[in-house]
Amino acid sequence: MNDLLVSIAAHEEAIVRQWSREIRQLPGSSYHDMDDRTLLAAIRRSCQALLHVMQTGDTSRMEEMLRASARQRIAEGVGYSDTMAVWLLYRQVVQRVLSDTLKDPDAWEQLVDRVDAALDWVMRVLHRVYSEEQKRNR
């Protein structure tokens, strides 16, 4: 598993740049108007936080970041589905960037298991925030 996480860390810049391009291509993306520097910095923080969660299992720092980000997205009128669409791109981007690096089936299985577990956790945190805000606004 360490080899996978080392590969993700080693390819961070490529992952960040590809994720940025794909986020901007989402239909109705609210990121079209964001300047590159700001978007790349936000994506880099997200990548580093996800990697930290996958390496250590410690979710405390990232959870607060996710909650604050979700509250901001809600205030901007961005729905849960649009927010999750951005996060779910991470797996596809990592797979694309690492496709030449991951040669054996076990490495691919580790990638899918580890990244999916992290994204599943992200989805649950975001869902809680969106649900809490929805209840508050009733």
Please state, in angstroms and rounded to a whole number, the distance separating the CA atoms of residues 11 and 29: 25
Number of domains into which the chain is organized: 1
* Whole-number pLDDT of residue 105: 86
Confidence of residue 100 (pLDDT cuts 50, 70, 90): confident
47-61, 79-93, 96-110 — which is least confidently predicted? 96-110
Confidence of residue 1 (pLDDT cuts 50, 70, 90): low
User: What is the domain range of residue 47?
Assistant: 2-136
* Whole-number pLDDT of residue 112: 84
Please check whether residue 46 is in contact with residue 53, taking contact to mean a CB–CB distance below 8 angstroms.
no
CATH value at residue 127:
1.10.490.10
Q: What would the pLDDT profile of 22-57 be if each residue is shown by its tens digit?
A: 999 998 888 888 899 999 999 999 999 999 999 999
